[in-house]
Amino acid sequence: MKKTILAAAVVLLAAAPAYAAPSVNGSTGLINTPTADVLQEGQFSLGYYHLKEGGVGALNLNLAKNLELGVAGFRYDSDVSKDNETLVNFKYSLLSETVLTPGLAVGVEDIGNDAKRTHYAAASKALPFGFRLHAGVGDGRYDGVFAAIEKTISPIGAVTGNNIFPATTLIAEWDGDRMNYGARMAIVPGLKIDAGWRHSETYIGLSYTY
């Protein structure tokens, strides 16, 4: 019985991501939605996403235990009839994810209401075989319930326990308005390339978490 429990714990822990990465909206998350993950003590993350209508740069910092603060700057192309936006984001972890229980976090995106202030709560839980589920509720841009599933494929990680190249996470999410699909590939620990389909348009991104 002890061996069975230990084996299950190892499988579940192996499914959890090694490094958090910023979403398009800036907060640590997937494509367009946050997760319950927050940066740990001393960590920071940088990210850039190229969208059809322009680009997004993101910076997140761990300011205190379980507390993440960040900013995302949307810079639209000159032929897009939208003003540039700067989103200041905050996220706080209420519960850390364990082998048996999900993580839980609450946050606010766009505190200054430059585009659309959004409050949310998100839960995340790793499952066997590289799967991980996320679900949450929010107002503003999430307009109710959002959810996502990710599946990490890591042939080397199955042996080493580290998510390194060519470890790839496949993502499908509902952001409260539309379905988005993407892939996040680990090049080296902390450095990831993202690409996929967001709001019926392609995107590509690069992020680094230290």
Q: Where would I find the beta strands (DSSP E) of 52-190?
A: 54-64, 67-76, 85-95, 103-109, 118-126, 131-138, 144-153, 168-174, 179-188
Q: Give the residue-averaged pLDDT of 130-140.
A: 97
Give the angle subtended at the CA of 184 by the CAs of 191 and 156, to the nearest 5°: 75
The whole-angstrom separation of Cα 191 and Cα 163 is: 11
Residue 154 sits in a domain of what CATH number? 2.40.160.40
Model pLDDT, residue 132: 97
* Region of 103 on the Ramachandran plot (φ > 0 left; ψ -120 to 50 alpha; else beta): beta
Count of domains observed in the chain? 1
Containing domain of residue 47, as a range? 2-209
How many whole angstroms from its chain centre is CA 191?
14
pLDDT digits (tens, 9 = 90+) for 70-113: 999 999 998 888 899 999 999 999 999 999 999 999 999 999 99
